[in-house]
Every structure is written in C-alpha cells, then in structure tokens.
C-alpha cells in the first residue's frame, strides 16, 4: 500500500478500490497500473508505470495473499483478512499511520506519500508530466503538491550557465 502511494502517487481512495486484477494479470504483476475512471477522483482513466520496487512487492503479495484457488482476481487487492472484505479508507489511514510510527518514528499519512511522489517527480521531469501522473485536470492543483528545496533551486540556476 505504501509503495503504491509513494511510487505511483495513488490517492487513498484509489488504492482502497483496487482489485487484484488491477495489479496482477496473466500470472505476473502489471508493468503499468491503469487507474480506472470509476475509481479515479477525476473520473478519467490514467496509466502510471510501476517501479521495480512495486513490481517486487506485487510478487510478494501474490506469494502471500493472492495465490490459491480461492482467490478471485476480481476481489479486493487489500482486505481486512477475509478475502472479500475490502479495507476501508480509515483502516488504510491507520495502517499508514502505524507504519510511520514504527518505521520512521514520525507521523505519516497517505497524502504525505502522494506529496512526496510529486516532489520527487519534479526533480526529474516537468510539471505537465507530474500533472498527468497525479491525475489532475488543473495545473494549479499539481502546484500544491510540489515542494522545491534548496538543491532544486541550485540545480535550476546551474542550468543557466
């Protein structure tokens, strides 16, 4: 869950609505994730290429959670324990909060992961690409997610020489 928000910029509501078949097809993880219009906040499809980290995590998810005849690939990707009980948005928020407390000893929210995704992208590509990957219709929405630091400013100026 964390990697899909951190490396693919998913909103918590999009993550919550994913089914196994969104992530795993033809006995292997997908290379790009199609965020279907019916689960997207903007009600438009968008495709996000997946990182090797996500790819490896999906292989682990399959080995632990999705294998066996009882798995229906139309079932929720993230469940509460019973294969058909989709985790709620609040449950996902709690899991992320707990992971933050344990792993980095700091407060962590799903939205912080999405902000980090956008900020990291801004260091390697232009804002229009970031807009597309975040699924924003308005460029002004994307600007809220970008947080340039001192290194970003130095890099921009050094490009002038």
Positions annotated as catalytic residues are: 11, 41, 111, 114, 136, 145
Beta strands, E only, the chain: 24-25, 28-29, 32-35, 46-49
Structure tokens at 46: 């968008």
Three-state DSSP string of 5-46: HHCCCCCHHHHHCCEHHHHEECCEECCEEEECCCCCCCCCCE
**Residue 98 three-state SS:** helix
């Amino acid at each position: 869950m964390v990697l899909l928000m951190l490396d693919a910029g998913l909103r918590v509501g999009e993550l919550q609505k994913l089914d196994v078949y969104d992530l795993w097809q033809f006995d292997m993880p997908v290379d790009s994730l199609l965020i279907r219009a019916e689960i997207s906040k903007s009600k438009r499809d968008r495709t996000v290429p997946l990182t090797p980290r996500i790819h490896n995590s999906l292989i682990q998810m399959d080995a632990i959670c999705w294998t066996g005849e009882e798995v229906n690939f139309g079932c929720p990707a993230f469940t509460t324990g019973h294969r058909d009980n989709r985790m709620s948005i609040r449950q996902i928020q709690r899991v992320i909060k707990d992971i933050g407390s344990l792993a980095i000893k700091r407060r962590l929210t799903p939205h912080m992961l999405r902000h980090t995704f956008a900020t990291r992208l801004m260091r390697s590509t232009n804002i229009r690409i970031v807009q597309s990957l975040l699924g924003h219709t308005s460029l002004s929405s994307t600007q809220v997610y970008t947080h340039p630091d001192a290194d970003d400013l130095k890099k921009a100026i050094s490009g002038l020489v």
